[in-house]
Structures are given as structure tokens and as C-alpha cells.
Structure 1
Amino acid sequence: MNVIKVGMADLNIASSPDRIRTVGLGSCVGVALYDKITKIGGLAHIMLPSSTLNKGVLNVAKYADTAIPKLIDDMVKKGADSRRIIAKIAGGAQMFSFSSASEIMRIGPRNVEACKEALRHARIHLNCEDTGGNWGRTIEMDCSTGVLQVRSVNNGVKEF
């Protein structure tokens, strides 16, 4: 068994018996996708909601609207069936409080909303989520079971 690491603004896929992990989810959202028949999993560490404001070279893994379709495509190329893929998400925290209630400063909640919209658009069922709050998370999915483990310093370990 190997642990495949996914960095910030990165995505990757893995299959049983491997695990796939990303650390440091604050306002970023970790999107874990899984096909239980082929036991293929995918994970994206999404930083921002939309690629429309991108200037320069596009990193598709950085944005919800481009990372989720790419992750699904990569999984299908490996043998997953998009009709069976389910999603689990974590992160999207509001890490800092601001005196203004400006929409632009709500990065975590906007990331969560954008990920849900991209999943709806792709017709992927959102099975569960651990989002919001003001704490960071580390997530790891076991591709042999599809169980997503969410760890945080003050809130312990949860499994979905």
C-alpha cells in the first residue's frame, strides 16, 4: 500500500490498496471522488472557486470549475464509471475574521459552493461533507473501502 500525496492546487488518482491524502485544508476544499466497483479514487485540493479570473498559465487543479471535471476525466480514463462516482468534500473554513462582510473575503464558503455546483453540473452525488468552521483539516481516503478520514487538531478524527 502506498500513500499518494496531493499538494495544494493539485489533483491525483489512486486505486486499491493505495490511499490518497492532502494536508493543509483551510479555506481550500478537498474533493474526494470514488468508484466503489473499480475501487478507483481521486482527490483534488482546490484553492479557488472559478478559473474565470485566471491570468496567465491555467493550473486546472487550482479551481473548482476546472479541477472537478479533470479529476472525473482522469478517473474514467483509468477505468471508473462516472455514473458510479460519489463525492465527499472537506475544508472550506473561514480561517480569519474580517471587519467587513465583503463577499471576496468569504473564500472558504465560496469554494464549498463552487465545488457543489461543479459536482451538480457533472451529475456526481455528494455523499457527505465536513466543511466550514474556522479550523484546518487533513484528509485521507482509503481506496480499498472509500472511507474518507478527516483529521483536525481541535476536532479529532472523523470517518465518512
Structure 2
Amino acid sequence: MADLKVGSGEDIIITSGLGSCVGVTLYNKSTKIGGMAHVMLPEFPANREQGNPAKYADTALDMLLDKLRKKRVNLNRLEAKMAGGAQMFNFSSSNDKMRIGARNIEAVERILQEKGIPILGAEVGENYGRTMELHNATGKVLIKTVKHDDIVL
């Protein structure tokens, strides 16, 4: 959680424990270089000077793009896929703060749209956790869950 990685070639990047968190992959199929971020919250709090920037959608995606740029990846050819953002618990309150999964999905979608990165696949929402694997050799993203069949994005 609250981490990101970049890989290439035969590397497989895996993140597990995607409940309300969102896993985001950015991949360049011509170079077979991609990365994944596991974000926990939509945005870095303005009132906080320190913290793990990989934890937040806005700062994590910027960090991931910077790591890909350093690998000389053409950022204009990136494609995104995402998973997670579940509502893991039922709350009697309709307080927007309790919609963490939905807010994470919305933040990631907004940021990717602003950066002009198309989302080619998503397995988001619902009420169950996921594990996400990015296979850099093919660009395929495998989504595993306990109660549902595996999905390939």
C-alpha cells in the first residue's frame, strides 16, 4: 500500500489489498515499460508538510510519471488501467468522506484525463478486494479476487 514501482521486459508488478485503494498502471507498449501505483486517498492534504506522497492519487501519479520519464518512456504513448476503489463497508451516513473508494476512482480518472492518458480498462467499485498484476512483457493486467473469476484487462 502507498507504494509505486516501475518495471520492464519480463517484470511482473503486483499489488494486493486493493479494497477502497486504487491500483493504477501506466504502460508504454512499444517499450514494454510500465509502472503501478497503489493509492489510498484522493489528494495530498494541504495542511500536511510531511507524509508518503505515494499514498495520494495526485502525488503518486506525478511520481510514477517522473519515474517513467527517467526511464525515457514517451509519456504521450502511455495507457492506463485501474482496479479497486471498493466500498468495503456499509455506512449509515451519507457523508462523502466515507466514500473513499469512489473518491479514489474519481480522483484517478480526473488526473488521467487532465494528463491526456487514456484508460483502456478498469475493474473498480463494488464491495470486494482485489489483487492486481501488471505483466510488462504483454501489458496485460490480471485482476484476482476471492469470490469472482480472474479478469484480464
- TM-score surpassing 0.5? yes
**SS of residue matched to 2:75:** coil
Q: C-alpha deviations, 1:38-87, integer Å up to 9, x for none?
A: 10010000000011345241311110111111101111111211011000
Selected match of 2:74 from 74, 81, 92: 81
**1:49 matched residue in structure 2:** 42
Distance 1:121 1:63 in 2: 16
2:112 is matched with 119
- Aligned partner of 2:75: which letter? S
Q: Pick the aligned partner of 1:141 from 134, 139, 144.
A: 134
Contact 1:35 1:80 in 2 (8 A): yes
CA distance in structure 2 between the aligned counterparts of 1:132 and 1:72, rounded to whole angstroms: 25
Q: TM-score, normalised by structure 1?
A: 0.93
Cα distance in 1 between the residues matched to 2:138 and 2:93 = 43
Aligned length: 153
Unaligned runs of 5+ in 1: 1-7
Runs of 4+ in structure 1 over 6 Å off: none
In 2, are the aligned partners of 1:13 and 1:43 still within 8 Å (CA)?
yes
Write out per-residue CA displacement over residues 112-149 of structure 1, whole angstroms, 9 at most, x where no aligned residue: 00001111121111111000000000000110000000
Distance 1:32 1:54, change over 3 A: farther
Q: Distance in 2 between matches of 1:157 and 1:103?
A: 30
Structure 2 counterpart of 1:24? 17
- Does structure 2 conserve the Cα–Cα contact (< 8 Å) formed by 1:38 and 1:79? no
The letter of the residue matching 1:10 is: D
Q: What SS does the aligned partner of 1:23 have?
A: strand
Structure 2 alignment gaps of length 5 or more: none
Alignment of 1:95-106 (within 5 A): 95-106=88-99
Aligned to 1:108: 101
TM-score, reference length from structure 2: 0.97
- Tell me if structure 2 keeps the 8 A contact 1:46–1:62: yes
**In 1, distance between residues paired with 2:49 and 2:72?**
33
CA RMSD, aligned part only? 1.0
